[in-house]
Structure 1
């Protein structure tokens, strides 16, 4: 922590020195891959404040937030600002020439032009190749953009904004958006009187200045609007998802139908991706995708080794948990259950009044106890990286115990990447011999818990069983790069902290009110426990030690099974 504070102070000093304004408190600072303050980029941040009208630039960036490609357009603007700021500053500071050359070499050393297919990355690579006097092999379309983008040092702020408007207008797909009060922010008029933008969504995850210049692997970047329709962009994204997470189990019409039902409200700018983690042998893959696949295989091996290392304990846990479930199942019960139709159970009317539970009737059925399906959903976000082996082990123990009790089980993980929530199915209800696939569990990306719960409940509707249970293993800390859009077009809320927790808790309550039992198994840090409790309430268990796993989860399952058939 002290080291981070020291580097932050060093970044401030560089920025203050370059801006000649010690009252300037920059919200953005630049660090290299080792966490050290980057001398050249922090100089650029400060010098932009010195040479240009930042209030106009901030208005311009704020206005671009309404565009589908907000962050990409900001990134292009910063490439142009780096060029003209360097041009103005090198006369005052001759050392900038060597600093820029060093940075350009370092930047290009971290990327492979042959593997860069994002238009912004291609422009950046060509820009820094040109800074070194090197020849670039980028397409003519990229060079044309770069020629217009490398602003001259004699341009003022208004001219820079006007040039950016022209670049957007000439090179990129866009459409008009209605402005609040019909007015544009000062200094942003172009030759047509308004900035043409695509008012759909904005991605906030690439907002730091560092990411404007330090190459993020290009496959992580959203497809730029070089593609002429939203459908084309979505197909492009799903092609990436297929290479990175595995082929989709749904076809295009099915995807649209599912998203029409799920990606609404707080998740209306999101997408959903269902996969079994199977990669097509002939699918296009770049180096990063292949590395990810290799990481998945390595993590599977780690998960299996960890499980086998604790084999005795795990076998005991499975035996204990199996017996606890069977004890509930072996109780002599009448072949009847609570239902939305049948004979009115007067003693259950209060549940409708206070719990909004419609199952206040008694219905005669056969084999009631076994008329149950259980879905197990594992949080596989990057925050679980240090606990991957433990979560895979716990998921396997629960699934194997339920399988031995002949209860249909479905197991899958969830994470989010860009505006996609990925659900990776390990085994389905009828795949009783596929529990080993749970060891394919690996962490990646962020986690949009609310959308994941909504998708899980949506899938469970296809089950014909009267009783359904969802068990979620999660750290109770929703955190996603895609924001929640507000009612006004220029307002959005970060999907994290209380916002993410409240959204997930709402989806859990909806599921419970629909008659589905939802249980939470806490897999996070103790300080995050209150958030998980807010989401799952009394239906949350906290596993304090591996040896107590079967006992703790067993009691929770016993109580919930008794409630189901009570």
Structure 2
């Protein structure tokens, strides 16, 4: 009954939104897939998207703009950034026209933009086109809003479209913004706008437009693909590219710069707190931590330690609801695989327990000191062998501590439930054998590296379940995260310290360009790989055993090898994560030199 009512409610919303779009467009044959899901987040976003879809279909040629995006992408442009620019330009071109006809539209638009700033600030602030969107939203809410010179110039170009009469005006503006903001060499390499538009459908077919599609959409026709791209292009929110997974990060080494104002900098800490939960460190402890650890390549960065938005939220916002839904999904996947998980926990527990038992056994070795062995005394004066004694070796089975550090950047988004499940298996097995351990994830937001602690070293087994709150977002500054994790391990009294890092072998972080300061060096590509490798070597020199578990793409294997050397494992399936970690831990427990 509940499912029936939910479907009825969904249909009612869709009919309401569709009728609004038809009314605005004046075309009751217009058939597009509407963004009804956003109604659950904000009805104003959903309603305004319907208005904008109808208005653009009425006044402009939506197919011409979409085809331009495909052709520009065919020549190597980034489709997601093109889509973001197109979304802003479409809004600028239609809003005054439709507001003149319908007085309530202006209010709906402002409320939609206000909700988008609250819900999507973090995601939008991670890219230049996202920052332009934010500035566009803020300018609509406050005409006196001021931003950086670069974004102000781009906004002026967008605002000129408020009097646009032809689709070609939008295309020229999108093209000019892309070439000036994102790729100043595009025209030199690939040609002018006229050459972009001269690409034929035959060339697109030969090139293979299906390269833009996800694997599960390979049977889609070109018309279907164009329809989905058009709908995505006309929405207010950024989403996945039509037919392609969102790019997880920029190419290695490509600078990813976000320019910020003084106003933004004052608010950034509150945004981090709002989106990741309050920090469990006091302001004084945080400053001391930053002073000690945020140096060298990370001199302009900060560390943020939290137990997550679900444990210490500021308010029940969209990000809180997203984290709640992801945690529920993680738990659902665990419930579906409960028997398999329990079996793996049992196997891993037995492996570790047997290794600990062997380590606890008393071992006798011959040496040049200790208890004399009478039957060997005949060697005195006759041989050079001085090992006439036995010595007892008592190894401490409990003298181990483990840190598990998990990449929680956007590149792990599709694997979230599996990563949470494997992390839980490892954590529960370590709890079962009494090895103190900490489990944390890491990602970066602006110049903050966020370390989400799921369980601390000496917590009881009830804390293991917190790994189900694992969520991903943003970028990853692996070097600083490893430095912070190693710092925690070095404070422990245990002699044998182990750090296990799950990552994709591609450290990549944005650059925050503060007002009146020079850009720091881009943290990506070879520079970031070398920095991360340096942190791994430093941790090993300090007596920490470090294992890298690689869960990325084969093309990044060489980078992973440079970072972790011989102690790294490549897993093609995240389901093998706990087995790999178990094997490594057993080897460490069995090692004589620990």
Please, what TM-score do these two structures have when normalized by structure 1? 0.58
Q: Check 1:440–1:222 CA distance in 2 against 1; reply closer, same or farther (3 A cut).
A: farther
Tell me if the contact between 1:242 and 1:279 (Cα under 8 Å) persists in the aligned partners.
no
Tell me if the contact between 1:520 and 1:539 (Cα under 8 Å) persists in the aligned partners.
yes
Q: Distance in 1 between matches of 2:138 and 2:518?
A: 33
Q: Distance in 1 between matches of 2:593 and 2:293?
A: 30
- CA offset digits 1:118-152 (Å, max 9, x no partner): 9998874475x5xxxxxx6x38x649999xx799x
- Superposed, 1:43-442 pairs within 5 Å as 108=109, 111-113=112-114, 124-125=136-137, 127=139, 129=140, 138=142, 142=145, 208=182, 224-226=261-263, 233=265, 236-278=267-309, 283=314, 290-331=317-358, 368-432=396-460, 433-442=462-471
Q: Check 1:525–1:369 CA distance in 2 against 1; reply closer, same or farther (3 A cut).
A: same
- Which is greater in Rg? 2
Q: Check 1:30–1:332 CA distance in 2 against 1; reply closer, same or farther (3 A cut).
A: closer
Instruction: Name the structure 2 match of 1:87.
Output: none
Structure 1 runs not aligned, ≥5 long: 14-24, 43-95, 130-135, 154-205, 228-232, 337-342, 344-362
Q: Distance in 1 between matches of 2:511 and 2:82?
A: 24
Tell me if the contact between 1:123 and 1:145 (Cα under 8 Å) persists in the aligned partners.
no
Tell me if the contact between 1:414 and 1:423 (Cα under 8 Å) persists in the aligned partners.
yes
Q: Distance in 2 between matches of 1:495 and 1:123?
A: 25
Greater helix fraction, Structure 1 or Structure 2:
2
Tell me if the contact between 2:360 and 2:394 (Cα under 8 Å) persists in the aligned partners.
no
Task: Identify which of 82, 93, 97 aligns with 1:31.
Answer: 82
Task: Report deviation, 1:550.
Answer: 5.0
Which secondary structure state, in structure 1, belongs to the residue aligned with residue 510 of structure 2? Answer: strand
Q: Check 1:291–1:366 CA distance in 2 against 1; reply closer, same or farther (3 A cut).
A: farther
- CA offset digits 1:475-514 (Å, max 9, x no partner): 12111113799xxx85643222222221111101110111
Task: Report deviation, 1:417.
Answer: 0.6
Q: Check 1:484–1:331 CA distance in 2 against 1; reply closer, same or farther (3 A cut).
A: farther
Structure 2 runs not aligned, ≥5 long: 1-63, 122-130, 157-179, 185-234, 239-257, 364-368, 370-390
Instruction: Name the structure 2 match of 1:175.
Output: none
Tell me if the contact between 1:374 and 1:468 (Cα under 8 Å) persists in the aligned partners.
yes
Task: Report deviation, 1:373.
Answer: 0.9
- Superposed, 1:461-472 pairs within 5 Å as 461-472=490-501
Which secondary structure state, in structure 2, belongs to the residue aligned with residue 38 of structure 1? Answer: helix
| CA RMSD in angstroms, aligned pairs only | 4.8
Q: Distance in 2 between matches of 1:333 and 1:506?
A: 35
Q: Distance in 2 between matches of 1:29 and 1:278?
A: 28
Task: Report deviation, 1:240.
Answer: 1.6
Tell me if the contact between 1:478 and 1:500 (Cα under 8 Å) persists in the aligned partners.
yes
Q: Distance in 1 between matches of 2:345 and 2:147?
A: 64
Tell me if the contact between 1:375 and 1:409 (Cα under 8 Å) persists in the aligned partners.
yes
Q: Distance in 1 between matches of 2:443 and 2:65?
A: 29
Task: Report deviation, 1:244.
Answer: 0.8
Please, what TM-score do these two structures have when normalized by structure 2? 0.56
Tell me if the contact between 2:403 and 2:498 (Cα under 8 Å) persists in the aligned partners.
yes
Q: Check 1:425–1:548 CA distance in 2 against 1; reply closer, same or farther (3 A cut).
A: closer
Q: Distance in 1 between matches of 2:147 and 2:590?
A: 69
Tell me if the contact between 1:380 and 1:443 (Cα under 8 Å) persists in the aligned partners.
yes
- CA offset digits 1:70-105 (Å, max 9, x no partner): xxxxxxxxxxxxxxxxxxxxxxxxxx9779868999
Q: Check 1:372–1:492 CA distance in 2 against 1; reply closer, same or farther (3 A cut).
A: same
Task: Report deviation, 1:439.
Answer: 0.5
- CA offset digits 1:211-234 (Å, max 9, x no partner): xxx9889xxx9873148xxxxx46
Which secondary structure state, in structure 2, belongs to the residue aligned with residue 464 of structure 1? Answer: coil
